[in-house]
Chains A and B, each alone.
Chain A
Amino acid sequence: MQRIGVFVCHCGTNIAGTVDVKAVAEALKSEPGVVFSTEYQYMCSEAGQNIIKNAIREHQLTGVVICSCSPRMHEATFRKTASAAGLNPYMVEIANIREQVSWIHKDMKAGTEKAIILGRAAIAKVSLNAPLIPGESPVVKRALVIGGGIAGIQTALDIADAGFEVDIVEKEPTIGGKMTQLDKTFPTLDCAACILTPKMVDCAQNEKIRIYSYSEVSEVKGFVGNFTVTIKKKARYVDELKCTGCGECTEKCPQKKVPNAFNLGLDNRRAIYIPFAQAVPKVATIDADYCNMLKNGKCGVCAKVCGAGAIDYKQKDSFIEERYGAIVVATGFNPIKLDAYEEYGYKQSKDVITSLELERLMNAAGPNGGTLLRPSDKTHPHTIVFVQCVGSRCDDGKGKSYCSKICCMYTAKHAMLIREKYPDTEVYVFYIDVRTPGKNFDEFYRRAVEEYGVHYIKGMVGKVAPQPDGKLLVQGSDLLADEQLRVEADLVVLAAAIEPDKTARSLGTMLTASMDTNDFFTEAHPKLRPVESPTAGIFLSGVCQGPKDIPETVSQAGAAASKVIGLLAKDKLTCNPCVAHSDEMLCNGCSACEKVCPYGAITYSDKEFRGPNRTTLIRRVASVNDAVCQGCGACTVACPSGAMDLKGFSNSQIMAEVDAICK
């Protein structure tokens, strides 16, 4: 039998004004299990807390009920008080007689009655409370960053700066991501490579950072502080340790007709390649789809010219298992495919390009060495039309419903750069809205209009028709002038929507990290926990969480890193003890709980049980990982056999409360 003490707080006149606190204390004295009952002016004051501590010691209380303000206010305070007096802090229950009684009722009689009932419910609950001890789990002091773009790089550098080891897994042969393909960056127009490549080199040289390039995460097990991750190193047919990155092989390879993915297929590269000159790691990779040696065993030129003997045609995919305390997702984005938008003629004409392709065309390291030429006939374009929101803000099933956020700014940048370099070029931008929130962003856009004379036209382009003379007839409506425009353009640039990388969905499943319908990772709280996934130990960095530009990505990367550092700085994690718990004797192994758990905290395993007549039975039973469970209780309701219960809010406790209230 429990020995329960009841403490009724006056809260000055806040409670005592409409609740007869003496009557409440008196009435609750006769409840079963109650051995002590008193009231005091301010229970949360030091004197009030001392009353509680003394009563616990004097009356050997095993449970405490405090009738006071909301538990959201002082539950923690009173738990500490109980703990100081040697009582398990989870043996404290609070009856909320301020926010739920005295503040909302004017009638003393009704208020007092309700306060007594709430007190009874709390007593009924506390009689069934069990002491809870928060569990602990160790923390592996290493972090994994998935994705080596600017988001992943920044996160890794920040974590490494704090002295923790970080691994970066990048699926491409080099880190750097999309930013390596950009020419200049808004709103300052500094060159992307100039600010990014030093960071890439920092990554390579930092002894705390290990880069797994041309690799993918293939399996994730474990939980916060203790993940086990299998990394698949794809065969690149070149020994990374031997290759010096001299580039001899990439010059001698006879297979010259491979579309250059780095330049988005605007030119060709060899079958053995280094994506670009500043690649990190600077190691060659053989494209197995095009290599003659790998396809039909004839060639072997690269092996012959390689002075370091790094070529290994027999290389296989290899798997590495590593343990981490935290995982950062930084999988980034891709522009969407524009095949569904036939009206813009992206497929029909080579001179209709995406903005990312324009970045390559304008880049000094791009296919034209930085001279802007039409892809079809390599002539200088004199009229260029930009079309905004291609696939963004679309509700038609072909595009994305969200705003891609970066297009307004990069289009202003492109328009400005073109007007500056080629003043004889007319530039038209067809827009729906120009969205430029951000430091110095609107000023930048206005400069494009006012100083560079870019023609901004409110209205969407209806169609782009390739003409026999090679021109592109762009038809669009100028909504403000209320007239139809037909522009004979030489080049049309489409601001394609961006979408999460296609690997994100499968990764999300592996990590049990939730995603929205667009495959962006969901944050734990949209405002207050923007860089954490609801799944403990998983952090989000960059566009994988939602469209954002470089400054925002970098700040989010830093924020994610600081959260990781905060986690890795701990030796042990204290877990919330109010977690689900499965009674193995009742569990029938149906998996209903596992399916509803949003955190993947429930696992099944075969266990031996003692059967009748000294036999051994093997049964499949659920077990809850205390470190992962957040205590929502979804599984307790899904469980058909009643095996699953939630500590601190058990079935019997809530039922006792219901009974007390309905009495």
Chain B
Amino acid sequence: MDRETNRVREQVLRMSGVNVLKCMRCGKCSGTCPSYEEMDYHPHEFVYMVEKGEIDKLMASESVYKCLTCFACVERCPRGVEPAKLIEAVRLEMVRKQGQNRLKPDRIPALLDEELPQQAIVTAMRKYTK
């Protein structure tokens, strides 16, 4: 792991407050994830990738934005690992890196449709206003 990767990894761990070493690779987070099919990397892989320091790969993936931040994984994890918090931290790290939000708030109304569940709107606010 080079120094920069390690710095980002440490930063993500600190921001999320997650201890990735607690993970016992049971995959219950992925088993419970409502966005599983949308993601290229799934919640359990997220944890492992952060542990290995493969944060660049995560940042390049769409998974970060496919996470609904519904916190089902946090609720169900038997080891208290909290994958969603990890994803939030990676997302925040990305926003900081590119120096701006992924989505400007004024673009959001146009993207809304009637089918969109309320929770998605709330989590969108959470995600895009960092």
Interface residues of A (CB under 8 A from B): 343, 389, 393-397, 399, 430, 432, 458-463, 475-477, 479, 482, 484
Contacts and interface: CB of A to CB of B under 8 A. Distances in A.
Size range of the interface on B? 20 to 34
A461 B45 CA distance: 16
Interface centre among B22, B28, B36 (most CB of A within 10 A): B28
A394 B76 contact: no
Contacts of B42: 477, 482
B79 A460 contact: no
B66 interface: no
A343 B80 contact: no
B27 A393 contact: no
Contacts of B36: 477, 484
Contact of B31 (A389, A476, A482): A476
Nearest to B41: A482
A459 B78 contact: no
Contacts of B33: 462, 477
Contact of B44 (A394, A395, A477): A477
Given A395-B22, A395-B78, A396-B78, A477 B37 contact: no
A343, A395, A462: most-surrounded residue (chain B CB, <10 A): A462
Interface in B42-87: 42, 44-45, 72, 76-80
A432 B24 CA distance: 8
A397 B75 CA distance: 11
Given A462-B72, A463-B32, 10 more contacts: A393-B24, A393-B79, A399-B78, A432-B25, A460-B31, A461-B31, A462-B30, A479-B30, A482-B42, A482-B45
Contacts of B45: 482
Interface of B: 22, 24-33, 36-37, 42, 44-45, 72, 76-80
A394 B27 contact: no
A343 B79 contact: no
B27 A460 contact: yes
Contacts of B25: 432, 479
Given A395-B22, A432-B24, A475 B77 contact: no
By secondary structure, the B interface counts as: helix
Contacts of A458: 27
B45 to A, nearest CB: 8
Nearest to A477: B30
B31 A459 contact: yes
Contacts of A476: 27, 31
A432 B26 contact: yes
A458 B24 CA distance: 12
Contact of B32 (A389, A393, A399, A462): A462
Nearest to B77: A396
Contact of A460 (B28, B37, B72): B28
B111 to A, nearest CB: 26
Contacts of B77: 396
Counting chain B CB atoms within 10 Å of each CB, the highest count among A393, A458, A460, A482 belongs to A460
Given A477-B36, A479-B44, A459 B30 contact: yes
Contacts of A463: 31-32, 76
A459 B42 CA distance: 13
A481 to B, nearest CB: 11
A389 B76 CA distance: 13
Nearest to B28: A460
Contacts of A479: 25, 27, 30, 44
B31 A475 contact: yes
Nearest to A463: B32
A461 B76 CA distance: 10
Contacts of A389: 26, 78
A396 B29 CA distance: 13
B31 A396 contact: no
Contact of B78 (A393, A475, A477, A482): A393
25 contacts: A343-B76, A393-B78, A393-B79, A395-B22, A396-B78, A396-B79, A397-B80, A430-B31, A432-B26, A432-B27, A458-B27, A459-B26, A459-B30, A459-B31, A460-B26, A461-B31, A462-B32, A463-B32, A475-B32, A477-B27, A477-B33, A479-B25, A482-B42, A482-B45, A484-B37
Nearest to A479: B27
Contacts of B31: 430, 459-463, 475-477, 484
Nearest to B75: A343
Contacts of B22: 395
A297 B124 CA distance: 66
8 cross-chain pairs, A with B, having the tightest CB-CB distances, nearest first: A462-B32, A462-B31, A460-B28, A477-B30, A459-B27, A460-B26, A432-B26, A394-B78
Contacts of B37: 484
Residue picked from B27, B30, B32, most chain A C-beta under 10 Å: B27
Contacts of A459: 26-28, 30-31
B58 to A, nearest CB: 16
B26 to A, nearest CB: 4
A396 B74 CA distance: 10
A130 B25 CA distance: 62
Contacts of A482: 42, 45
Given A477-B36, A479-B25, A479-B44, A484 B30 contact: yes
A432 B26 CA distance: 5
A393 B22 CA distance: 11
